[in-house]
């Protein structure tokens, strides 16, 4: 039987991928050591998600390995050997803000951990596909140099700009801008994944995601904004919006849609691929629009305040142009628009967030 390896298997994308792959008959080895509770506190723990995976997927095998531990990673991949056909690397320190607190930890997880996994796969399962969850933060604050126009509820790119129609594509430079500590560690990992594809011939691809979302997200103040926004709306917990008149724009891709994209790649992998991936023009919202959507869905007001000080290096406007991926994998289509995303957060996250609130 074919084997898949999913890192960060307790997280939003990792857990979704593990369930998806197990449902297709693969034996899934999951790696997650609940570092999320260290990053963001006990309410952000992924233990509940791992318990759910174990209960629902008989062919799921869990390993509490830290991806900074090269020897343990190497031993696990060596044990699987050539039966390993698919790697989904979703483990990460995911927060722009948290990375500045512990840059050494952030880099060791995001950059060195990725290198540890790449090398283990190169040695023991070189024919496996390797899908890496990168980030749009590899572009740093370069998107903020785009010509932006203010409307009543959002910032938009000027109509005459090439990115106006479909969003930002992979031609945008990653150089000469501020990335944040998190963005820099993910750039390092992103480039190494590309290099193991181009130099060593591994079947790798970097998926540069924007906002990844879904009810399976253990949302926290420092990461997972849309899930955390709905959580605060439902529980009355205060929420702070930082800068840009609360009109900053993000596209949002549901975890189910993203896993579908990863699966398309794993079935027909290439070497050294780079793809912007997100909700695109199909699924996006500004901060003000997101607040209204959550309030309308939940039937109650969000307790929120505004700070003029934006996060350093934060994007004012980001919408992903996913046409390159769709050209390479024409059967891929997004299923969740922003209204479906909000409904999923409410319908499938409300009970768990209420329990966390006590």
The pLDDT assigned to 221 comes to 65
Residue position matching structure tokens 């740093």: 140
The pLDDT assigned to 96 comes to 86
CA distance readout (Å), 123 to 14, 48, 265, 306: 23, 33, 22, 51
The pLDDT assigned to 263 comes to 98
The pLDDT assigned to 349 comes to 79
Q: Per residue of the chain (358 residues), what is the pLDDT tens digit?
A: 599 999 999 999 999 999 999 999 999 999 999 999 999 998 889 999 999 999 999 999 999 999 999 999 999 999 999 999 999 999 999 998 899 999 999 999 999 999 999 999 999 999 999 999 999 999 999 999 999 999 999 999 999 999 999 999 999 999 999 999 999 999 999 999 999 999 999 999 999 998 999 887 766 665 668 889 999 999 999 999 999 999 999 999 999 999 999 999 999 999 999 999 999 999 999 999 999 999 999 999 999 999 999 887 789 999 999 999 999 999 999 999 999 999 999 998 778 777 766 6
Alpha-carbon distance of 6 to 101, in angstroms, equals: 27
* Full residue range of the structural domain in which residue 118 is found: 3-357
Number of domains in the chain: 1
CA distance readout (Å), 120 to 82, 128, 192, 267: 12, 11, 14, 21
What H or E segment, with its residue span, contains residue 149? strand 148-150
For the chain, how long is the longest CA-to-CA vector? 57
The pLDDT assigned to 262 comes to 98
Cβ 337 vs Cβ 280: under 8 Å: no
The model's pTM: 0.95
The pLDDT assigned to 356 comes to 67
CATH of the domain at 337: 3.40.50.720
Measured between alpha carbons, how far apart are the two ends of the chain, in Å?
43
Q: Per the structure block, which two tokens stand in for 166?
A: 């479909």
* Angle formed by the axes of helices 12-23 and 255-267, nearest 10°: 50
The pLDDT assigned to 357 comes to 65
């Amino acid at each position: 039987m074919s084997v898949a390896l999913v890192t960060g298997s307790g997280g939003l994308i990792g857990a979704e991928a593990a369930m998806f792959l197990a449902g297709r008959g693969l034996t899934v080895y999951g790696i997650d050591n609940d570092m999320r509770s260290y990053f963001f506190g006990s309410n952000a723990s992924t233990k509940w998600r791992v318990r759910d995976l174990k209960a629902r997927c008989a062919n799921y095998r869990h390993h509490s390995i830290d991806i900074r531990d090269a020897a343990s990673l190497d031993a696990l991949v060596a044990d699987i050997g050539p039966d390993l056909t698919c790697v989904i690397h979703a483990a990460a320190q995911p927060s722009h803000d948290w990375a500045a607190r512990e840059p050494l930890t952030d880099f060791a997880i995001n950059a060195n951990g990725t290198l540890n996994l790449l090398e283990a796969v190169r040695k023991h399962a070189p024919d496996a596909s390797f899908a890496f969850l990168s980030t749009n933060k590899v572009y740093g604050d370069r998107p903020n140099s785009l010509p932006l126009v203010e409307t009543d509820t959002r910032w938009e790119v000027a109509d005459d700009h090439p990115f106006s129609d479909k969003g930002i594509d992979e031609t945008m430079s990653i150089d000469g801008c501020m990335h944040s500590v998190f963005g820099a560690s993910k750039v390092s990992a992103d480039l190494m994944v590309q290099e193991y594809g181009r130099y060593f011939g591994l079947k790798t691809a970097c998926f540069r995601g924007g906002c990844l979302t879904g009810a399976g997200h253990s949302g926290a103040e420092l990461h997972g904004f849309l899930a955390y926004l709905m959580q605060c709306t439902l529980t009355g917990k205060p929420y702070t919006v930082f800068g840009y008149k609360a009109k900053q724009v993000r596209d949002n891709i549901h975890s189910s849609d993203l896993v579908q994209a990863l699966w398309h790649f794993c079935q027909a992998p290439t070497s050294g691929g780079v793809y912007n991936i997100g909700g695109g023009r199909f699924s996006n919202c500004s901060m003000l629009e997101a607040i209204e959507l959550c309030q309308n869905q939940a039937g109650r007001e969000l307790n929120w305040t505004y700070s003029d000080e934006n996060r350093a290096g934060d994007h004012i406007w980001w919408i992903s142009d996913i046409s390159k991926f769709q050209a390479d994998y024409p059967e891929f289509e997004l299923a969740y628009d922003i209204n479906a995303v909000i409904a999923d957060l409410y319908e499938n996250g409300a009970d768990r967030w209420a329990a966390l609130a006590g």
